[in-house]
Amino acid sequence: MSVNLPAPNPAELYPVAGLRIGVTEAGIRKAQRKDLTVLLLEPGASVAGVFTQNRFCAAPVQLCREHLATGAGVRALLINTGNANAGTGEDGRARALSTCVTLARKLGIDPVQVLPFSTGVIMEPLPLERIEAGLDAALADARPDHWLRAAEGIMTTDTVAKAFGTQLMIGGERVSITGTAKGAGMIRPNMATMLGFIATDACVSQGLMQQLATELAEASFNRVTVDGDTSTNDSFVLIATNQAAHAPIDSLASAEGQALKAALLGVAQKLAHAIVRDGEGATKFITIKVEGGTTQAECRQVAYAIAHSPLVKTAFFASDPNLGRILAAVGYAGISDLDQTGIDLYLDDVHVALQGARHPRYREEDGQRVMQQSEIMVRVLLGRGAAADTVWTCDLSHDYVTINADYRS
Amino acid sequence: MSVNLPAPNPAELYPVAGLRIGVTEAGIRKAQRKDLTVLLLEPGASVAGVFTQNRFCAAPVQLCREHLATGAGVRALLINTGNANAGTGEDGRARALSTCVTLARKLGIDPVQVLPFSTGVIMEPLPLERIEAGLDAALADARPDHWLRAAEGIMTTDTVAKAFGTQLMIGGERVSITGTAKGAGMIRPNMATMLGFIATDACVSQGLMQQLATELAEASFNRVTVDGDTSTNDSFVLIATNQAAHAPIDSLASAEGQALKAALLGVAQKLAHAIVRDGEGATKFITIKVEGGTTQAECRQVAYAIAHSPLVKTAFFASDPNLGRILAAVGYAGISDLDQTGIDLYLDDVHVALQGARHPRYREEDGQRVMQQSEIMVRVLLGRGAAADTVWTCDLSHDYVTINADYRS
């Protein structure tokens, strides 16, 4: 089940020059399931990553950070599902490094030029042999037009593969952007999503990449939540293969920089929204916009309090306009000097609460009408400033409980 | 459904001299349901309250604070279910005050000597006429031995009435303590529970009461959570009717003060645990003890991160030892300098994780055995200090979703 999330449109998944993708079934946790993916980069690509802030970050996340910090050009990304290699200690690091060494040997590159990614069950040993045994098949599968296979290869509890692409003109040259992501549960990214990869053949100087990746994550993956559980393995990687013929972009303030960033953000937001639309058990896609705060941070804090409230989420699932639950969440969001008499609440175009109390003209049937939609906008006006922020989430249904009570069995 | 929570034992619900209770069916939201309760106090009682920190606090909570602050001796508590009178603005305050005025007139006291309490649906107008029409029947019902009726009269989604009592000797005199509470959802009290009332006939000087009430709440109601939703109406009231013949207690450090506090805490913790045992949809009672922190606050922060994780809670529901989810919650609890290699995890007596990784001798069947119990202790050792804290919670089941998707219908 997912909310208004069609399968990827193959015609939109543009090959990115300088990047090939190979996928195989390595039997990591279950048989006959695509679970091992390699992304191979020609020399000269610019790469930046944004990773989970969870202090129990997984072994591959630790290695990604270290390998990127060496400044050695990234040549390969290695992604497995079925096992998160988190909560595995020194042995987990050794296993993650071993997969990099094996792949590097096959490619004739240095192990620090490989970035490893894992997703799946926590605190189980990574099945090293199966991954290493699957590498040859994955490499043999590598082609530029395998984005859909990549999207399928990184799925876990996802019900729909997630991949989007776009094209734009820079300096008279047509450049492509294509990205994929996975994630449906343990989703409240803090600096990144479960796994997200966006590549472009545009030319972007390496010095700009980290800033660009961080700004993209902040306005997309870092604004979605399914269950408030920040994963141990969240990773978002931005790749510019630098194969297009235009002059390299070395400022995000330039016209070309702005155009590229806007196009990248479009893909990043579609991917982030796709994760929520495919949130475990989701039946509704909820946009929570908080305006009128003194800072963006306090708007975000209020938006997440609403987005994480089990009572609000179950009311959305029931299509029940029990909207006092939203006010209660605003009230406990942690803004100690919040004045309830300054607060307005809208559900789409329906003005529900005025100055902290039920609007005199609010009618239950108007709330009911909006609650029955599959796409709902919650708008809270704090009435104390000019800042705003937006968070996207889904409802909490029986299927969320079913999926997470049964995930390992 | 509740977890190991028997119905109240009438023999334990000791009448408290100087206090009478009356309950009636006022038809506030549903017919044939006890929904209006009065507690009547003889002159001279010491009373203190602890109230929700939710900035959307309900009208009756605002009035309670104001009435207590006048210093006028409290003579009556008026409690209705079926309507929370929160998110109702100035009109809500006027209605709450009106109920106090009407009750005060009937009793020949001042309206500020009445404390009003409401619980139920948020953002609906309080049905003033029904409450005021029910007062005579409630007053006519008033008797010292009606604690069980009080416990029934304040229930909403509770499945079991909650009341406990005890007796102790102070200065050669036998004194009684009896308390009741309600609450099953929207439970993550912050300074108090949904509604909790504890009374004793012991003699306690008014100057000690606020400190005593706050310390009791901190070690009981403020350490339980069902769904992380802090209610708009949380209120805990401590009453000493001062009718016992012993010399008044004017220090909590005295032998008598310590004995009384310990006995009161016993009742407060039983009530707080009862709320979790009757948590909406609960099938397990979970104690989360975090030790080895640098401060009690950081231990509490970690304990609540675990207690609020939907993934941890659904794993408990499934009896699935998917214990990496607990480590993930520890990791995202917000302790930015937490070192994962210092962390140990126990499930009851089973040593699950050693220094941040799966314990070499941990066997899945040992975790499975504990997870199948209805009472489970999660123990996390942070390995960075000597502080500790404990939080109590329950699992997240299908019934939680059912109850909260259907609550108003």
Lowest mean pLDDT segment, chosen from A381-395, B159-173, B179-193, B221-235? B179-193
Cβ neighbors of A404 (< 8 A, separation 6 or more) are A185, A280, B310, B311, B314, B315, B318
pLDDT in tens, A265-294: 999 999 999 999 998 899 999 999 999 999
Mean predicted confidence (pLDDT) in A70-86: 95
Residue of B nearest to A317 (CA): B405
**Mean pLDDT of chain A, nearest integer:** 92
Tokens encoding A94: 């050794």
Are B318 and B271 found together in one domain? no
Overall domain count for chain B: 2
Are B315 and B393 found together in one domain? yes
Judge if ipTM > 0.85.
no
Q: Do residues B64 and B49 touch, judged by C-beta distance below 8 A?
A: yes
Residue A1 lies in a domain: no
Q: Is there a contact between B87 and A407 if contact means CB atoms under 8 Å apart? A: no
Enzyme catalytic residues of B: 193
pLDDT in tens, A116-165: 999 988 889 999 999 999 999 999 999 999 999 999 999 988 889 999 99
Coil, helix or strand for A120? coil
In the predicted structure, residue A354 carries a pLDDT above the cut 80: yes
Q: How many angstroms separate the Cα of A408 from the Cα of each of A56, A324, B311, B365?
A: 20, 36, 12, 14
In the predicted structure, residue A397 carries a pLDDT above the cut 60: yes
Range of the domain at A248: 10-277
Residue A3 lies in a domain: no
Q: Which of B245, B277, B309 is the last residue of a domain?
A: B277
Residue A256 lies in a domain: yes
Most confident of A177-191, B84-98, B392-406: B84-98
In chain B, residues with a C-beta closer than 8 Å to the C-beta of A408 are 320, 322
In the predicted structure, residue B368 carries a pLDDT above the cut 70: yes
Phi and psi, residue B361, nearest 5°: -95, 5
A228 at interface of B, judged by CB pairs closer than 8 A: yes
User: Which of 336-355 (A) contact B at CB < 8 A?
Assistant: 336, 338-341, 343, 353, 355
Q: Do residues B11 and B165 touch, judged by C-beta distance below 8 A?
A: no
Are B400 and B346 found together in one domain? yes
Residue A367 lies in a domain: yes
- Position A302 scores a pLDDT of 96
**Mean pLDDT of chain B, nearest integer:** 92
B325 at interface of A, judged by CB pairs closer than 8 A: yes
Q: Flag whether the pTM goes above 0.95.
A: no
B174 at interface of A, judged by CB pairs closer than 8 A: no
Are A273 and A349 found together in one domain? no
pLDDT in tens, A310-340: 999 999 999 999 899 999 999 999 998 999 9
Q: Which of B277, B308, B335 is the last residue of a domain?
A: B277
Q: Is there a contact between B401 and A401 if contact means CB atoms under 8 Å apart? A: yes
Are A70 and A192 found together in one domain? yes
Q: CATH number of the domain at A303, please.
A: 3.10.20.340
In chain B, residues with a C-beta closer than 8 Å to the C-beta of A229 are 309-311, 325, 328-329, 332
Mean predicted confidence (pLDDT) in A42-47: 94
Residue B109 lies in a domain: yes
Closest-CA distance of chain A to residue B219, Å: 20
Q: How confident is the model at residue B408 (pLDDT cuts 50, 70, 90)?
A: low
Q: Which of B254, B277, B300 is the last residue of a domain?
A: B277
Are A170 and A295 found together in one domain? no
d(CA B236, CA B202): 18
Please give the share of chain B, as a percent, with pLDDT higher than 70: 98
- Position A409 scores a pLDDT of 44
Are A98 and A200 found together in one domain? yes
In the predicted structure, residue B192 carries a pLDDT above the cut 60: no
Task: Give CA angle at B211 (B207, B215), nearest 5°.
Answer: 155
In the predicted structure, residue A406 carries a pLDDT above the cut 80: no
- Position A54 scores a pLDDT of 87
- Position B406 scores a pLDDT of 73
A364 at interface of B, judged by CB pairs closer than 8 A: no
Are A170 and A71 found together in one domain? yes
In the predicted structure, residue B376 carries a pLDDT above the cut 80: yes
Q: How confident is the model at residue B409 (pLDDT cuts 50, 70, 90)?
A: very low
- Position B157 scores a pLDDT of 83
Q: Is there a contact between A398 and B396 if contact means CB atoms under 8 Å apart? A: no
Are A245 and A327 found together in one domain? no
Q: Is there a contact between B353 and A123 if contact means CB atoms under 8 Å apart? A: yes
User: Which of these is catalytic: A99, A193, A214, A283?
Assistant: A193
d(CA A72, CA A53): 24
Q: How confident is the model at residue A190 (pLDDT cuts 50, 70, 90)?
A: low
Q: How confident is the model at residue A242 (pLDDT cuts 50, 70, 90)?
A: very high
Tokens encoding A312: 């609000």
- Position A229 scores a pLDDT of 80
Mean predicted confidence (pLDDT) in B64-72: 95
Residue B309 lies in a domain: yes
Name residue A175's amino acid. Answer: V
In the predicted structure, residue B190 carries a pLDDT above the cut 70: no
Cβ atoms within 10 Å, residue A214: 18
- Position A83 scores a pLDDT of 93
A118 at interface of B, judged by CB pairs closer than 8 A: no
Element (H, E) at B399: helix B398-406
Residue B5 lies in a domain: no
In this predicted model, which residue has the larger pLDDT, B406 or A208?
A208
Mean predicted confidence (pLDDT) in B219-237: 85
Residue B3 lies in a domain: no
Choose the closest CB to A317 out of B121, B323, B405: B405
Cβ atoms within 10 Å, residue B84: 30
Task: From B231, B404, B380, B191, select the one nearest B291 (Cα to Cα).
Answer: B380
Mean predicted confidence (pLDDT) in B332-349: 94
Are B250 and B352 found together in one domain? no
Residue of A nearest to B52 (CA): A332
- Position A349 scores a pLDDT of 95
Name the maximum alpha-carbon separation found in chain B: 72
- Position B222 scores a pLDDT of 87
Q: CATH number of the domain at A82, please.
A: 3.60.70.12
Are A25 and A64 found together in one domain? yes
Mean predicted confidence (pLDDT) in A42-58: 91
Are A241 and A323 found together in one domain? no
